[in-house]
Every structure is written in C-alpha cells, then in structure tokens.
Structure 1
Amino acid sequence: MTMQARGLDFLRDVDVRLSVELGRTQMKLKDVLALGPESLVVLDRLTDELLDVLVNGKPIAKGEVVSQNGRFGLRIVEMVGVEETAPAQDPMAISDTNPDITGA
C-alpha cells in the first residue's frame, strides 16, 4: 500500500493531549503567591458559556461539562472551524454579490 493510498491513517495511533479550558485570568505574581485554601480566583468565562476543547494546545471544539457515574465528562457541542453547509446557490442567479452578472 502506498503512502498516498493510506492518506493520513498512519497518524491515528499518535498520542495527543486533550484538555478542556474552564477559563483564564491574569494575576500579579504576589497575588498568586498569596493563594491558599479557600482562595477564590474569578475566571473570564461565564457559567453558561461553552468550554474550549484543546488538542495539544490548539482549539478543536467547544463543549459542556457533564457528570457521569461520579466523574466529570465533556459533551462536544460544536467543532471549531466547521460551518454548517449552506444550500448551494445557482451560479447564474442575478445577485448584488456577483459583479459579473447584471440585471440588464
């Protein structure tokens, strides 16, 4: 089997790190050093916002936290960069967005 025929199938067994980002904040080092039990750190994300799903630090999806059998889980809600397919437009249709075709 040639490399081209297999495509990228050989990469399927490569280990990657999947992580979920709950939120971020920026703090001064003195404030970080003052953290301890019962400290509260407010993050930049609202409680109803979707969380970022990262593979090796790159965003691939958005999801929400779920609980299953006493463990945290993640439900993928949308993939990053994947747009829903719009219905195909007739290339001969008269449109303001196509300057090559006029109504005259």
Structure 2
Amino acid sequence: MFAPTLAPEARAAAELLVSLLPSTVPLTVAPLDPARGPGPEAAAVVSTFVGASSVELILVAETAVAESLAGAGGTPISLADALRPALEAAAVAFGPGVLDVAEIRPVGADLVGEGLTAFALLADGVPQAWFGVRNRTREATVPHQRDPRQRTDLRLLYDVEMTLTAEIGRTRLPVRQVLELIPGSVLELDRAAGSPADIMVNGRLIARGEVVVVDEDYGIRITEIISADQASA
C-alpha cells in the first residue's frame, strides 16, 4: 500500500534538485502535464530514500544535461553520477535519512500511477527534464549506502558551465506599457540606488554584490553569500 502523497515536500525536493542540476539553461518547476512527459524509453535515474519518509526519486534529465557533460572534459562521468548531487539535494526535503545508490533504467511508467507527485522542469515553457517522487511503505531492507569516497564525483562536474547573471532590480508592467517603450524610456526598479545586485546561477539566487568597473567592463564584487534557506525565503 502507498502512503499519502507528500506534495509540499515533493515540490520542495524539486526546487532543491533544480538548484544543482547541471543544465546549461535555467529551469523552472511546474506540475507535470502527462501529455508532455518523456517517452517510455527515456533514461531515468532512480534512487530510493529511506528516512522518516520512504520515497523513490525518479529523474529524467539526460537531454537537459547532455550539453554540459559533453563540454565537461576530463574523466568520463556516468549519467547517474552526474545527477547524484541533484538527487542528494532533493533528498534533503525529506529530512535525515539515507539515499540509495542510483540505477539507470527506461522510465517506462515510473512517472505515472498511485502515490506519485511529478514535475516538469521547464526552459522557456518547454519541458527539458522530469522529476517524480513516489511514496513507499517502509521496507525492512537497508539501502546500499554510497562509499563516502565517491562524493568526490562532484569534482567531475567542475568544468560544467552554468549561466550566471547579475540583477540590479525588477519591475512589473502591463503589456500596453511594454509595447509603448521607446529609446529614452526610464523604468523605475524595485530597488534603491546603491543597493546590492542579486547574483543568480541558472536563475537561482546565490549571492549579492556591488557593481564595479574592471578595465572598462562591468563586474560584480561579492559582498554576501546566500544560504539555501535565505534563497527559498
């Protein structure tokens, strides 16, 4: 029998997962539209988490990370190892516990059925990856714990390039005003002059800093590193 769906925890897990997914484009989390899911032969990386909750984490992201891994160079890395840091980040949403060694298999019907909460990971509204959390009853078997020495696998991703942007402020405008913009228009942002700029990696806030000039180019001097709790607040 399946346990009740843990929708809030599953959503939090998806947001944490996206923050460490080695995609070259920013991804956002949205509920899965079954009509826009992956094909049954798509490769899924699946791992079981056992703790206060027992859940199965299912991640289909081979296409989303293919460009990053192709440009990583160095030692070849398996899809399971490449996605392991993202799965470990997702598991934090379920509290203390142990994440089993991941396996790669065709996704088949893993992203449908009872006890599942599933999400699409979108870039410009188009699904690039998919993530599901399936609740399981507590099993007597102990998951295979990963050798602590294997945590250095994250180093294999060090050469993966991710999009970093600096944001000095935002504003909201109706479409009518956007269409009326012309050269010379001035937009008032939601931040006072001199306030620090937000530094985003793949759309995630990681730090704040002040704008500087470096050899006639703009730069950012880091003044504050943002914790995961602050970024989600």
**Fold equivalence (TM over 0.5):** yes
Separation in structure 1 between the aligned mates of residue 197 and residue 166 of structure 2, nearest angstrom: 7
- The one of 142, 154, 158 equivalent to 1:8 is 154
In structure 2, the residue matched to 1:26 is 172
RMSD: 1.8
Separation in structure 2 between the aligned mates of residue 31 and residue 21 of structure 1, nearest angstrom: 21
1:42 aligns with 2:192: no
Distance change (3 Å), C-alpha of 1:5 and 1:54: closer
- The one of 211, 215, 223 equivalent to 1:69 is 215
Separation in structure 2 between the aligned mates of residue 47 and residue 78 of structure 1, nearest angstrom: 18
Distance change (3 Å), C-alpha of 1:5 and 1:41: closer
Return the letter of the residue paired with 1:9.
R
Q: For each residue in 1:2-52, what CA deviation from the matched residue of structure 2 results, as whole angstroms up to 9, or x when unmatched?
A: 870524101101110000011100101000000001101110011121110
- The one of 208, 216, 224 equivalent to 1:78 is 224
| Runs of 4+ off more than 4 Å | none
Highest CA radius of gyration, 1 or 2? 1
Return the letter of the residue paired with 2:198.
D
Q: For each residue in 1:48-93, what CA deviation from the matched residue of structure 2 results, as whole angstroms up to 9, or x when unmatched?
A: 21110000000000001001211101100110018xxxxxxxxxxx
- The one of 204, 213, 218 equivalent to 1:58 is 204
TM-score computed with the length of structure 2 as normaliser: 0.33
TM-score computed with the length of structure 1 as normaliser: 0.72
Distance change (3 Å), C-alpha of 1:10 and 1:29: same
Separation in structure 1 between the aligned mates of residue 151 and residue 162 of structure 2, nearest angstrom: 24
More strand by share: 2
Separation in structure 2 between the aligned mates of residue 37 and residue 19 of structure 1, nearest angstrom: 24
Greater shift in the superposed pair: 73-82 or 61-70:
73-82
More helix by share: 2
Structure 1 runs not aligned, ≥5 long: 83-104
Structure 2 runs not aligned, ≥5 long: 1-146, 229-233
